[in-house]
């Protein structure tokens, strides 16, 4: 009778062990599949993000020369304004420096535009 109980306990423990290992393996397989799906979704998201950034920078490069021309015109006008103010009113050195700075910035943008 003792032997019968021992074998019954051994069979039950074996079944529990097999069931535990099966569930554990199923969970591990599920995790691997889930991780692979996450990696695939991340790659798709990265590709979409880089494509969108490429389109954005391409559009920025197309608009940039017009923006530089506008900046150049603005800096030239500001430089001329301050130069006229300095000449007309013999203002202090600070405004003369402003005029020189605006003129220099306008020349810089003109050179950048011509490149």
Q: What is the mean pLDDT of the chain?
A: 77
Helix intervals (H) in the chain: 2-89, 93-114
Predicted pLDDT at 12: 92
The segment with the largest mean pLDDT, out of 63-67, 68-72, 104-108, 111-115, is: 104-108
The segment with the largest mean pLDDT, out of 48-57, 64-73, 81-90, is: 48-57
> pLDDT band at residue 114, thresholds of 50, 70 and 90?
confident
Q: Residue 105: name the closest of 85, 84, 65, 78 by CA.
A: 78
DSSP label of 1: -
Alpha carbons 79 and 60: distance in angstroms, whole number: 27
Q: What is the pTM (predicted TM-score) of this model? A: 0.34
Alpha carbons 83 and 88: distance in angstroms, whole number: 8
Quick one: tokens of 64? 């940039």
**pLDDT at residue 108 greater than cutoff 80:** yes
């Amino acid at each position: 009778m003792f032997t019968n109980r021992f074998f019954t306990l051994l069979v039950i423990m074996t079944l529990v062990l097999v069931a535990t290992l099966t569930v554990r393996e199923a969970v591990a397989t599920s995790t691997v599949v889930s991780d692979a799906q996450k990696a695939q979704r991340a790659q798709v998201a990265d590709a979409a993000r880089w494509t969108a950034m490429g389109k954005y920078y391409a559009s920025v490069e197309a608009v940039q020369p017009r923006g530089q021309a506008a900046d150049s015109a603005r800096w030239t006008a500001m430089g001329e304004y301050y130069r006229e103010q300095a000449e007309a009113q013999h203002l202090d050195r600070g405004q003369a420096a402003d005029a020189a700075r605006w003129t220099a910035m306008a020349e810089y943008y003109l050179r950048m535009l011509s490149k």
